[in-house]
Amino acid sequence: MDKRFWLGLKLIPVLDKKIKTITDSFESAERIWLADRNGLSKIDGIAINEVDEIITRRNNIDLERWWQRYKNIGINILTIFDDDYPPLLREITNPPTVLFFKGDLILNYSNAVAIVGSRLASIHGSIIAEELASELSKEGVTVVSGVARGIDGSAHKGAMRGQGGTIGVLGCSLDVIYPPENKKLYGEICKHGSLVSEYPITTKPLKWNFPARNRIISGLTKGVVIVEASEKSGALITADFALEQGREVCAVPGNPKNKLSKGPHKLLKSGAYLVEDAGDILDVLGLIGHSEKKKESSVEISLDEQRVLNFIDWELKHVDEITRELNVSSSDAAILLTILEIKGLIKQDIGKRYLRIH
């Protein structure tokens, strides 16, 4: 019942801005919502000249209708006064008083890790993010990220493969799909975890929402892993929040010539943990006992396939380089590449270049 009044407070911008102050003074949302002119003016944080505006706005809001609208979109409300509010998030200096969420909230909050990075990730970085997320999730760790293009998207995708699940934190409201191609990803995340936002519906992805969102990403987790980020990337803001909030910061190193390595390397130089695989993350965060390294997957490959695989190695190689260096015909190179692709050992990137992934 009370949740409706919380929604009411979020719908009036003057109150939303001060929601922490006004509710900290032990006023219940219901009492604030129902207060008369006199009552309102006595609440800590509400200025006299704001009272009229609050009352006009309040009279224009049909709370029941709004409540139904949220229900119809499948949005639930969680407040800091609820028992199931994520415990780690509660500890940060300015936790969101109200969180909107979609999907299943029963996740392993005390075992969460954030994986974030550049929106313009390389295929290299995307593969690493996906792999780390998938392995963490298989160990029961919940992976948190920002539902953006690049690293974020890969982290969510990987995490869906395990029972740890994933949480996506948005810089807009839950009914706004951004970037637009993420429609499917939104749905999948809700199936394997939840989507979270502190914004009432119809809030656009405004630029200044993102730093605020980043504090939630790090706030939900024990530590943040940065995979590929340029020096100006928002992922570094998330890392800063993590430090402020006393969470661990981990980074995956990269090619020193690549500008997407600048971010992680900067963090590594100032003491972030170097991460090569999911085991490293589990160790740093003191999560579950380091699981044994998985046995090498046993796909059978022919001698020729092995030659191509060895040549491609972990660097992008163009199909013509394979033809020339291994002295095979271009049709033979094509045949071997398709077979290795189907066996899941290599992946194709833009420009007909291949990368070994296993």
Give residues in contact with other proteins (CB under 8 A).
Answer: 119-121, 123, 126, 149-150, 153-154, 179, 181, 318-320, 323-324, 329-331, 333-339, 341-342, 344, 347-353
Copy the structure tokens of residue 186.
Answer: 């939104």
Query: Least distance (Å) from other proteins to the CB of residue 46?
Result: 42
Copy the structure tokens of residue 240.
Answer: 């800063």
The helix or strand, by DSSP H or E, that contains position 343, with its residue range, turns out to be none
Nearest residue (CB) to other proteins, 121 versus 312:
121
Query: Least distance (Å) from other proteins to the CB of residue 197?
Result: 22
Nearest residue (CB) to other proteins, 271 versus 351:
351
Query: Least distance (Å) from other proteins to the CB of residue 75?
Result: 27
Q: Which residues contact 295 (CB under 8 A, 6 or more apart)?
A: none
Dihedral over Cα of 273, 310, 299, 346: its sign: positive
Query: Least distance (Å) from other proteins to the CB of residue 150?
Result: 6
Strand, helix or coil for residue 245:
coil
Closest CA to 147 of 187, 109, 104, 112: 187
Q: Are 197 and 99 in contact (CB under 8 A)?
A: yes
Nearest residue (CB) to other proteins, 217 versus 336:
336
Nearest residue (CB) to other proteins, 161 versus 318:
318
Query: Least distance (Å) from other proteins to the CB of residue 352?
Result: 4
Q: What is the pairing mode between strands 98-103 and 193-197?
A: antiparallel
- How many Cβ atoms from other residues are within 10 Å of residue 256's Cβ? 8
Query: Least distance (Å) from other proteins to the CB of residue 206?
Result: 17
Q: Which residues contact 65 (CB under 8 A, 6 or more apart)?
A: none
CA–CA gap between residue 214 and residue 152 (Å, rounded)? 12
Nearest residue (CB) to other proteins, 29 versus 340:
340
Nearest residue (CB) to other proteins, 89 versus 336:
336
Cα end-to-end distance, the chain, whole Å: 53
Query: Least distance (Å) from other proteins to the CB of residue 149?
Result: 6
Nearest residue (CB) to other proteins, 66 versus 178:
178
CA–CA gap between residue 331 and residue 229 (Å, rounded)? 38
Q: Are 239 and 272 in contact (CB under 8 A)?
A: yes
